[in-house]
A = this chain, B = another copy of it.
Amino acid sequence: MSKVIKGGTIVTADLTYEADILVEGDKIVEIGKNLSGDEVLDATGCYVMPGGIDPHVHLEMPFMGTHSADGFESGTRAGLAGGTTMVVDFCLPNPGQSLLEALAIWQQKSGLACSDYSYHMAITSWNEQVFNEMSEVVDRGINTFKHFMAYKGALMVDDDEMFASFQRCAALGAMPLVHAENGDVVATMQQKLLAEGNNGPEAHAYSRPPEVEGEAANRAVMIADMAGVPLYIVHASCEQAHEAIRRARQKGMRVFGEPLIQHLTLDDSEYRNPDWDHAAQRVMSPPFRNKQHQDSLWAGLQSGSLQVVATDHCAFTIEQKRFGIGDFTKIPNGTGGLEDRMPMLWTYGVRTGRLTMNEFVAVTSTNIAKILNMYPRKGAILEGADADLVVWDPNRSKTITSKSQQSVIEYNVFEGKEVVGLPRFTLTRGRVAIEESTIKTEPGVGEFIGRDAYPAV
């Protein structure tokens, strides 16, 4: 049964024009005027855009014997509700664990995904098995490897391991990603703050200031330079990291920076909220920064020195957050955002005149698909592309509240923000998953999207 999206204005990273879209099965089969199909989705007054891609989420992430609260079902449902039709999760082997074994576990988790998904593979330790398995991982469609420069004693790798892994990435046509914070310094600062009696959530921010992130970003850039490999810096939250990225790019290096919607729109005053729960719910790494850092991130999106916007969605319940009462280092790190990324960015980016609509599509979808090597299957409105689409109604508005959100947790860091610009329809591979406030997602229809190795330059 075919569908036609009628009467809308197509907005891609490249172009804005009026046309209908004919969808058959899970593909776009025709784009043009006056198309007809079995079912008509009315896009009058709307922009029809490639569905959002969130390049950075953690669904059902293992944590202290339990998991982050949103799994693939509720996480992808939240994404779809906000116009995001694909997520890229992080497969996290325990240090020493086989990458392939971890991958098998992740594949199980994702069985009920409502939209397509892919994985980054984390390199959390280094040995010959890891070296060897990286090749197999790339063959299985995972061409990106994540490295944690923080979380000492857990996920962190040192410079030696990073350099070895980056060189391996270069050989395999894969791209390294880094979480850039100096883990040694963070760990020491945490102990120092606790010892001084600073055990509240605000100390989380004190323990990892922008300098600590900028240093690590700068270090990762140098190691990538020496390895001759591109680099993707996740959750770049501050001017210091952004500066390291700019400097690299001004040498001709291919370095990418990913701000989060949280860092673009929320600031560190949140941690000064006297309500422990309020502040703890905002604990993530890197922490929120001040307004000057926000200005830097927005300018990066405008100038192209930063390329994509993500969420690092990793939702914990109030109860889980409270593990950290009396010891901020035990507050699970992470906030939600999957449902809110697109409306928040539209509201604070497009409606304010900072970004064009085409740039909005670029940073929420197309650039991501290109950088992660799955364009134009994803991130495009082209004949033959997957029918991952959002029919965006620029006049629909709501006030964000946890009461009506898809995420299973009881709060929302954007609570009370009014957004203007929301999906009328979200289609995932041709299926209507969202129709305004009506959720029609189907758990299990999402598929793994393999991403090939990058071609040699």
Contact = CB atoms under 8 A, between A and B. Distances in A.
Interface of A: 13-15, 17, 158-160, 163-164, 182, 184-185, 187-189, 209, 211-212, 214-215, 218-219, 222-223, 225-226, 246, 249-252, 254, 292, 295-296, 298-300, 302-305, 353-354, 356, 375-376, 380, 382, 457
6 contacts: A160-B184, A211-B222, A211-B226, A212-B222, A218-B219, A304-B304
Contact of A184 (B159, B185, B457): B159
A14 B379 CA distance: 11
Contact of A252 (B222, B223, B250, B354): B354
B223 A305 contact: no
Contacts of A305: 249-250, 303-305
Nearest to A14: B14
Nearest to A220: B215
Given A246-B250, A250-B305, A223 B185 contact: yes
Contacts of A219: 182, 215, 218-219
A297 to B, nearest CB: 11
Contacts of A353: 457
Contacts of A222: 182, 185, 211-212, 214-215
A-B pairs with the 4 shortest C-beta distances?
A: A249-B303, A159-B184, A215-B222, A304-B304
Given A188-B164, A303-B305, A376-B15, A225 B252 contact: no
Determine how many copies of this chain the complex contains: 4
Contacts of A457: 353, 356
B212 A184 contact: no
A163 B185 CA distance: 7
B185 A250 contact: no
Chain B CB count within 10 A is highest, among A158, A159, A189, for: A159
Nearest to A164: B188
A347 B314 CA distance: 47
A212 B163 CA distance: 12
A257 to B, nearest CB: 12
A245 B336 CA distance: 37
B250 A375 contact: no
Contacts of A302: 249, 252, 254
A209 to B, nearest CB: 8
Nearest to A189: B226
A303 B13 CA distance: 18
A236 B211 CA distance: 21
A226 B185 contact: yes
Nearest to A353: B457
Nearest to A358: B370
Contact of A218 (B17, B215, B225): B215
Contacts of A209: 226
B163 A184 contact: yes
B249 A225 contact: no
Contacts of A212: 222, 226
A185 to B, nearest CB: 6
A301 to B, nearest CB: 9
Given A215-B218, A250-B300, A303-B304, 16 more contacts: A159-B182, A159-B185, A160-B184, A185-B222, A189-B226, A211-B226, A214-B222, A218-B219, A246-B246, A246-B250, A246-B303, A249-B303, A249-B304, A250-B299, A252-B298, A303-B305
Contacts of A354: 252
A225 B298 CA distance: 17
A13 B375 CA distance: 13
Contacts of A218: 215, 218-219
A163 B302 CA distance: 24
Given A159-B185, A188-B164, A219-B219, A225 B251 contact: no
A185 B354 CA distance: 25
Contacts of A187: 160
A137 to B, nearest CB: 22
Contacts of A246: 246, 250, 303
